[in-house]
Structure 1
Amino acid sequence: MDDIDSRLLDALQQNATLTAQELSDVLNLSPSQIARRRQRLEAEGFVTGYVARLDPEALGLAVQAFVQVQMAAHNADNARSFASLVSTLPEVVAAWTLTGEADYMLRVWCEDLPALNDLIHGRLLPHPAVARVQSQIVMNQLKADSGLPV
């Protein structure tokens, strides 16, 4: 990967809908060279997909929160069972396993506080593998989700 590849990846992270012609204007290469580089970067796994960023407010999602989950016992069955639960919850937009006191961190979007309460008390806490849940509600997002440093 060279400097042009890095600049191409950065441009795609900013706007994945740019055409080869538009990218060629930015990177000072021909559209055919841009298209070949883009295809190669996709084939080599640097680009794993393209998505649209949606406006949560326009979708009626007013509450973003981070939810820490501590497991009752650490074993493979609990981990599989909890991962299966998380995969069925559309409010959970990202999930990570962690070191430290919490075992999992969930990023969630809900319509309102009652919906967040239902997610926590109605679906997460009743799971037999879950011992404790702690949530932090996002008051303001200072920096929007951005691309990776390339």
Structure 2
Amino acid sequence: MSTNKPKNELDAADRTILRLLQQDGTLSNPRLAEQLALSVTPCWRRLKRLEDDGYIKDYQANLDRRKLGLDVLAFVQIRFSAHGGNEPNAFEAAMCAQPQVLSCHKITGDADYLLQVVATSLDAYSDFVENVLRQMPGVASIHSSLALREVKAGSRLPV
């Protein structure tokens, strides 16, 4: 099934399900049905369709990175010397395999990629830059911006 369905295929109940699950992914189907004023079976069918159609990719808990000792948050711009060959593909695969890379985006503008990276300390971040990023073939420049204060962080989409 296609995961690129148009937005207009969602009705108000579908959007409410998505909004409620973004707020609390542990909501049981009976509790979700109660909040929607639906019976359990139709609610389950809607939820199953949203999952099958790819609107809901997975479920996870949102963790506090600082409580886990991940005090450094860096936004890293990567620029390649050339855009041909297999180097960008190898870079993307390598970034996907790095647990400290929270996100990797191919972007427009002065850089080719924008990474969001966490680390336990500046020394640990420096090790990542030296032992991972600087070792990637084709990387011409690395520009890091360290977050001084987190004003807003989240992954909830406006539905």
TM range (shorter): over 0.9
- Give the partner amino acid of 2:119: C
1:21 is aligned to 2:30: yes
1:34 is aligned to 2:43: yes
1:73 is aligned to 2:91: no
1:89 and 1:119 map into 2 onto residues whose CA distance is 10
Give aligned pairs, total. Answer: 150
- TM-score in terms of structure 1 length: 0.93
1:142 is aligned to 2:158: no
Query: Structure 1, unaligned stretches of length 5 or more?
Result: none
1:120 matched residue in structure 2: 129
Query: Structure 2, unaligned stretches of length 5 or more?
Result: 1-9
1:86 matched residue in structure 2: 95
User: Post-superposition shift, 1:126?
Assistant: 2.6
- TM-score in terms of structure 2 length: 0.88
1:106 matched residue in structure 2: 115
Structure 1 residues 93-148: Cα deviation after superposition (integer angstroms, max 9, x where no partner) = 11000011100001011000011111112221232210100011112221221311
Q: Which runs of 4+ in 1 moved over 6 A?
A: none
Structure 1 residues 24-48: Cα deviation after superposition (integer angstroms, max 9, x where no partner) = 2221112222111101111111111
- Give the partner amino acid of 2:40: P
Q: 1:132 aligns with which of 115, 119, 141?
A: 141
Name the SS for the 1:22 alignment partner. helix
Identity %: 37
- Give the partner amino acid of 1:128: P
2:67 and 2:78 map into 1 onto residues whose CA distance is 29
Name the SS for the 1:11 alignment partner. helix
Name the SS for the 2:86 alignment partner. helix
